[in-house]
Chains A and B, each alone.
Chain A
Amino acid sequence: MMRTDTPAPAGAEGERAVESPHRPAPSAPAPRPASTARRRARRETLAGYLFLSPWCVGILLLTLGPMLVSLYLAFTDYNLFDSPRWVGLANFSEMFSDDRWWKSVRVTAVFVLIATPLKLAVALGVAMLLVRPRKGQGFYRSAFYAPSLIGASVSIGIVWRALFQDDAVVDRSLSLFGWDGGGWVGDPDWSMPTLIALSAWQFGAPMVIFLAGLKQVPRELYEAAEVDGAGAWRRFRSITLPMISPVLFFNLLLEIIHSFQIFTSALVIAGPGGGRAGGPGDSLLVYTWYLYEQGFSNLRMGYASAMAWMLLAGIAVVTAVLFWSQRRWVHYEEGGR
């Protein structure tokens, strides 16, 4: 092994030399550690970027580069074969007078606003049911998680469509209670509730996260509150919610972003038809589907890019509001409340 009392040459040999414990420490004056430290820092940086190189290529080639291209295309008319033609803000102004675009915005907004809170409420409720250690707890936790793994697949979409058809399982079960709703999937007013039900069915993923958060809440807090005569609702409001608010924030953020991007389930539940079909009365024409239709069925890639940036803007606004609001309702541990 080489010694380090002379400035070691760069390269692989040098690397070992500097790390070597046999460095003659007593004879080393002040300047040398500084220069070795700098050299070491440079090598660390080189190593870091070597390890990171696939990721760097990926983010440039498949994320940042495409984002720039997309931003440019948003201001053009582009059909993939002729070269893009600059049209300024025409795509955006067309959007605002496009009835189907507005429809897709409304459909997606309704889905995000109803499906997300519903799913999280179910997830939190079930997590609170499961948090006390009892026999079978692990089993239930796993079983309830399963739908999150398969829920977004085409298969489950087909199953859902079958369950909610006219004279199918849901319709006939409800008829037993004297409510003949007909087929949910064929009815413009009821196809969205069908999709929301599918989303709520996948409560397992946020539930697992809630459970982990609930387990961190010290039991003494509840015992103390109980002694003070706080009822169940009061304990939930004053202890559970503040204590798990970081987890709630995280779940809310993830699920909202997720809901904005709903695609496969809506497409399958809307049923056969492919191409231009947004379900009964376009009631399931979610935003991403309309984007797909414009970009890939109609080959209006400029318009689709503009739509994509509007989606990104929408998600960014919601995310920003969420982050801004967290000061008011999210309590973090540090800082001693």
Chain B
Amino acid sequence: MSAPTGTVRTARPVRPPRGGAGAPARRGARSVLWHLGALALLAVVLYPVVWVLGGSLKPGNEIVGSLELLPTDPITDNYERLADGIAGIGIETFFLNSLLVALGSVAGVLFSCSLAAYAFARIRFAGRNVLFTLMIGTLLLPVHVLLVPQYVLFQKMELINTYVPLLLGKFLAVDAFFVFLMVQFMRNLPRELDEAARIDGCGHWRIYWTIVLPLCRPALITSAIFSFIWAWNDFLGPLIYLNEPDKYTVSLGLKMFMDQDSLADYGGMIAMSVAALLPVLLFFLTFQRYLVEGAATSGLKG
């Protein structure tokens, strides 16, 4: 770095004091500018979301062409038509299927990833470093390499068109991201806690269950929300493994909508898009702290 520190020290007293004449005004102007910039950006970022919320309340033929964010004359027809279902299948089927897959994913991730994370963070065993490196390696492995062989595997096991292929990996800690996130969190818990428990005669299982897990609540909540949202949004997995419409998740239902009657019922498709987004947006509004913090910390300590 170029700045010689000596000059800095001598220069500091000479510098005009911060609260000098004109400074508050300039700082005020800067603050206004900052807020204007942030608001402009906010408008760009939120526009598509607000647009689709408003659009779902407009007549189908007006949605694409209108620049107004909110309808002058809101209607709920689009949603009412959804109640009749798509291609003879009730709309609630897709949502229940998605809910099943998403909740199953959450359960699997919490169970298997916390066990693996405990082993990596708290137990010293032969081969730990090698396996940890392997786990980090899978973090970078593109899923597409595994698509074909996994499909062949599940096809041989006659599990196509069931939810097993979508859920099995979650119960076997395949999502290295969550293992990593929990390892980072567990490593920061004070070691004295489990040492004290060990002296009292606790085995690893009791330390895991009664001490570490309760203290990991923030990491568990973050993992639960992320795994729910990712499973809810997932498209590739259901696309490959589900082939009967009554098993479809919301993502696939939407795609079916898009392929079949996008021209016939544009309003319905937009309404269903909103319905598919709503659970995620609600989760976000409720748990945004956990999500943003989780995203920040898991990245930093890599």
- Taking Cβ atoms with an 8 Å cutoff, the residues of A that contact B are 1, 12, 15-16, 19-21, 41, 44-49, 51-55, 57-59, 61-63, 65-67, 69-70, 73, 80, 126, 129-130, 132, 134, 136, 140-150, 152-156, 158-160, 162-163, 165, 167-169, 172-173, 201, 205, 208-209, 211-213, 224-225, 227-228, 230, 238-239, 242, 247, 250-251, 253-254, 257, 260-261, 263-264, 267-268, 271-274, 288, 291-292, 295-296, 301, 304-305, 308-309, 311-312, 315, 319, 337
Contacts and interface: CB of A to CB of B under 8 A. Distances in A.
Contacts of A80: 152, 155
Nearest to B259: A272
Contact of A273 (B41, B259, B297, B300): B259
A142 to B, nearest CB: 4
Contact of B41 (A52, A144, A272, A312): A144
Contact of A224 (B8, B35, B48, B171): B8
Contacts of A46: 125
A153 B118 contact: no
By DSSP majority rule, is chain A's interface helix, strand, loop, or mixed?
helix
Contacts of A141: 292
Contacts of B140: 253, 257, 315, 319
Chain B, interface SS category:
helix
Contacts of A55: 112, 115-116, 119, 135, 172-173, 179
A46 B120 CA distance: 13
Interface in B228-275: 229, 233, 235-236, 239-240, 251, 254-255, 258-259, 262, 269-270, 273-274
A136 B38 contact: yes
17 contacts: A41-B124, A47-B204, A51-B116, A52-B115, A52-B116, A52-B131, A53-B115, A55-B172, A58-B169, A59-B134, A63-B146, A66-B145, A130-B38, A146-B284, A251-B299, A288-B144, A308-B142
Contacts of A253: 140
B116 A145 contact: no
B100 to A, nearest CB: 18
B34 A44 contact: no
B63 A162 contact: yes
Interface in B31-52: 31, 34-35, 37-38, 41-42, 45-46, 48-49, 51-52
B281 interface: yes
A58 B112 contact: yes
A43 B57 CA distance: 63
B302 A250 contact: yes
A238 to B, nearest CB: 6
Contact of A47 (B123, B258, B281): B123
B208 A268 contact: no
Given A150-B277, A168-B65, A209-B295, A140 B38 contact: yes
6 nearest A-B residue pairs (beta carbon): A58-B172, A48-B125, A66-B149, A209-B299, A51-B119, A155-B273
A315 B112 CA distance: 28
A158 B270 contact: yes
Given A48-B123, A48-B125, A159-B51, A247 B300 contact: yes
B274 A169 contact: no
B174 A142 contact: no
Contacts of A132: 34
Nearest to A302: B148
B74 interface: no
Interface in B113-135: 115-116, 118-120, 123-128, 131, 134-135
B21 interface: no
B171 A54 contact: yes
A309 B145 contact: yes
Contacts of A147: 45
B148 A301 contact: yes
A305 to B, nearest CB: 5
B12 interface: yes
A130 B38 CA distance: 8
B146 A67 contact: yes
A203 B168 CA distance: 31
Nearest to A227: B11
Contact of A54 (B155, B173, B199, B269): B173
Contacts of A260: 142
Contacts of A274: 259
Given A51-B119, A52-B116, A159-B51, 14 more contacts: A12-B203, A16-B201, A41-B124, A54-B172, A59-B138, A59-B172, A63-B141, A80-B155, A150-B277, A201-B45, A227-B12, A228-B3, A264-B235, A311-B142
Contact of A21 (B5, B55, B199): B199
Given A48-B125, A167-B65, A153 B146 contact: no
Contacts of A163: 48, 51
A53 B111 CA distance: 12
